[in-house]
């Protein structure tokens, strides 16, 4: 199988139903990354949300809903469902929501991103299967569409979620 790597930038979302696609997002610091995968349908998606709530800038949220956790995550859920995923089969994996040292805990963006993400998933009856959140380190997150395998790389160490 030939792997095709697709980069998900900051404030972006990508979805796929091609088994050889690997979605990857870099630099998950205070941002939150969510991988959703339906193993039976072989469809999945990855989103990299920067800020928790869209109400701070409704114009930006309208132009790019993926920038915000409260508007981007529902769009990811709906997109994978539209591609044939079944809600009760969705496997959710989460990374990021860190507190980078320069933040000094003032804004708590990572923590707030994570709280908003959990609330949206809970309202959609989607449980988090595994996660690596918090701390101070940035993370890279990979989702293999064919297998649903989700990996995290941080500080030169890679592990499966």
The sign one gets for the Cα dihedral 120, 98, 132, 33 is positive
Domains of the chain, residue spans: 4-155
Q: Which CATH architecture has domain 4-155?
A: 2-Layer Sandwich (3.30)
**Residue in 148, 30, 146, 145 with CA at minimum distance from that of residue 95:** 30
pLDDT one-digit tens code per residue, 109-154: 999 999 999 999 999 999 999 999 999 999 999 999 999 999 999 9
d(CA 161, CA 115): 19
Q: What is the 3-class SS of 35-48, one letter each residue?
A: EEEECCCCEEEEEE
Under a CB-based contact definition with an 8 Å cutoff, are residues 30 and 48 in contact?
no
Going residue by residue through the chain, which has 161 residues, state the pLDDT in tens, using 9 for 90 and above. 578 999 999 999 999 999 999 999 999 999 999 999 999 999 999 999 999 999 999 999 999 999 999 999 999 999 999 999 999 999 999 999 999 766 565 679 999 999 999 999 999 999 999 999 999 999 999 999 999 999 999 999 999 99
């Amino acid at each position: 199988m030939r792997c095709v790597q697709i980069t998900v930038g900051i404030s972006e979302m990508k979805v796929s139903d091609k088994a050889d696609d690997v979605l990857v997002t870099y630099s998950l610091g205070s941002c939150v990354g969510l991988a959703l995968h339906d193993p039976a349908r072989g469809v999945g998606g990855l989103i990299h949300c920067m800020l928790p709530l869209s109400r701070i800038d409704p114009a930006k949220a309208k132009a790019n809903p993926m920038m915000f956790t409260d508007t981007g995550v529902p769009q990811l859920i709906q997109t994978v469902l539209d591609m044939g995923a079944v809600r009760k089969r969705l496997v959710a994996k989460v990374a990021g929501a860190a507190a980078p040292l320069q933040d000094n805990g003032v804004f708590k963006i990572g923590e707030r991103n994570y709280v908003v993400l959990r609330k949206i998933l809970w309202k959609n009856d989607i449980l988090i299967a595994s996660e690596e959140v918090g701390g101070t380190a940035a993370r890279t997150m990979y989702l293999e569409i064919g297998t649903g395998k989700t990996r995290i790389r941080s500080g030169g160490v890679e592990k499966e979620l």
